[in-house]
Amino acid sequence: MTELKIKFSDRVRIFVYGTLKPGEVNYKRYCASKVLDSKRAIATGKLFALPMGYPAMTLENSQVQGYLLSFADVEILSQLDDLEDYQPDRHPSENLYNRQQIEIRNLQGLSLGFAWVYFMSPERVSQLRGIPQADGWWSGCGLKASEVWDL
């Protein structure tokens, strides 16, 4: 799979929907000291809770709620690639998650442009016994989407 080298600004933008969201277990370690901007956002996809305690998103026609994070340093992608078991040179079926750029929208449905997202194939989600999250929101710390404010 060929990676697109699309650059819309000097910032690296990543849509996160799981453990990398503000308040979740991996946010402090990977993002907190590096994030320039964070805003609630929506991506087109379907969200699943996995039995291992983290979520997966597939690129299907539904909505996933999360955050659009902006970073100054492109090195963040290498760090997150390691976390998500993604290697661009590997065949997509060998990665746990794959990464690509998709359009992200604000909570009112207006486009925020494109951002990187880590997604899982529907086949892998099925193998891992993913449970659909009807409201498109996942939280490992028990927060509901309605309880979250912009940071």
Percentage, residues of the chain above pLDDT 70 = 87
pTM above 0.85, yes or no: yes
pLDDT of residue 39: 96
DSSP codes joined into one string, 54-117: -EEEEEEEEEEEEEEEEES-THHHHHHHHHTT--TTS-GGGSSSEEEEEEEE-TTS-EEEEEEE
Q: What's the pLDDT band for 69 if we cut at 50, 70, 90?
A: very high
In the predicted structure, residue 33 carries a pLDDT above the cut 90:
yes
Does residue 27 sit in helix, strand or coil?
Answer: helix
